[in-house]
Chains A and B, each alone.
Chain A
Amino acid sequence: MEEKINIEKEFARLQEIGEKMEDKTISLDESISLHEEGIKIIKKLEEALKEAEKRIEEVIEVK
């Protein structure tokens, strides 16, 4: 299945999450939610980057 995620966008969101979590004033609740979302995004990005690496190799190899 090809999930066309926008790596830049997701990454930006991830950084946003990271920054938000540094804020000591947010509630426990929110930081847990953010954490969960962050983990999800990280998984997605790891997949996408692995996929990208594969595609680069394929293009180089063809000739």
Chain B
Amino acid sequence: MDRVVYSISDINKYIKHVLSNDESLKFIYIKGEISNFKAAATGHLYFSLKDDSSLINAVMFSSYASKLIFEPKSGDEVIVLASIDVYAPRGTYQLSVYEMNLKGQGSLLEKIEKLKKQLASEGLFDEKRKRNINIFPKAIGLITAKNSAAIKDLVFNIKRRYPLVTLYFFPSSVQGENAPKELLEAFKKSQEYELDTLIIGRGGGANEDLNAFNDEALVRAVATSKMPVISAVGHEIDSTLLDYVSDKRASTPTGAAELATVDIREIEQEMDYRLDYLKQTLLNKLNDLKEDNDNYKKKLGGILRNRVDKYKILLEGEKKRINALSPLLVLKRGYTLIEDSEGHVVTDINNINKDDELVIRMDEGKVITKVKEVKRNGRKD
């Protein structure tokens, strides 16, 4: 009889094929207890999930593990979202885990979701409720933990950007059982002050407990804040309910400082630019005016000189005319004029008598004479 004999590879490949194509083994929720938990340096998590009688190995790769909101350890009762993964060469299968929550935490998330919907329906998250931040504040209130990196960051960055502001610190725990109550008290205190802005938050990372900022009483109270609130709950991905109800949100304390104030150095630089521009504009205008002035002076000078020149020409003309018409021209030719003692020219010989004193005008001067004898043409006196 002929038997079909398979290789190991064939078998393993087949098993992988079967399991990989089974939809009911993909993206399913499984509950179990963590054992042999190991977090590798790569960020990948290796553990087993077991119940009373059996276990399966599991891995949660770092890209999924980074989204965990708690730190898993052996003994934790968890619910995971996972798929079956087959590693054919070894003939093994494992759970590839995408999400993991502590048993009981699932319900917490649900509760928060429900509260979120409720508050949203009441309009507490509406865009139009959100106020603008005065970036030239006189006073800012800070609610966060004492001695924390958050308060240090806030104070440092706010003062660096806008030294003129007065900061009021209302310390409070930001995690643990008492946090919601302390936050609420700190908030109530802050309302007694004349603040431009209130910053509520904490530093954080992916695995910090942000639940205090989901507290219903706190969120409802913040909705009634007299002044705008910036939530700075240090979480890049998830949002807390405080984030929704606040007027603005930042993911870090530094971010909050930037939302809350103007950067004074930018203002100074802007002013420098404007002053320079103004100075330049004025200088340019001054130069233009100077140039205009010079041009006008030259023009004026030109006009005046033209007039003077015109007069000179006309004067020359008149001079020539007068000289040409002048009877004294004849003197140059050797002729003379006879004037009486009163300076009048004598043209009529009948007006000349013996012994009269006459002046003979020559070109070069005058001759004073006395008449000896008058000889009229054609008659003797």
Contact = CB atoms under 8 A, between A and B. Distances in A.
Interface of A: 7, 11, 14-15, 17-18, 21-22, 27-29, 31-32, 34-35, 38-39, 42, 45-46, 49, 52-53, 56, 59-60, 63
Given A32-B345, A60-B297, A49 B322 contact: no
Interface in B304-347: 304-305, 308, 311-312, 314-315, 318-319, 321-322, 325-328, 337, 344-345, 347
B127 to A, nearest CB: 66
Interface hub of B314, B315, B345 (most chain A Cβ within 10 A): B315
Contact of B308 (A32, A38, A52): A52
A17 B322 contact: yes
A38 B293 CA distance: 41
22 contacts: A7-B311, A11-B315, A14-B315, A18-B321, A21-B325, A28-B345, A28-B347, A29-B344, A29-B345, A32-B328, A35-B322, A35-B325, A35-B326, A35-B327, A42-B315, A42-B318, A49-B311, A49-B312, A53-B305, A53-B308, A56-B301, A63-B294
Q: Is the interface of B mostly helix, strand, loop or mixed?
A: helix
Q: How large is the interface on B (under 10, 10 to 19, 20 to 34, 35 or more residues)?
A: 20 to 34
B301 A21 contact: no
B370 interface: no
Contact of A14 (B293, B318, B347): B318
A34 B345 CA distance: 13
Contacts of B321: 18, 21-22
Interface of B: 293-294, 297-298, 301, 304-305, 308, 311-312, 314-315, 318-319, 321-322, 325-328, 337, 344-345, 347
B303 to A, nearest CB: 10
Contacts of A35: 322, 325-328
Contacts of B311: 7, 11, 45, 49
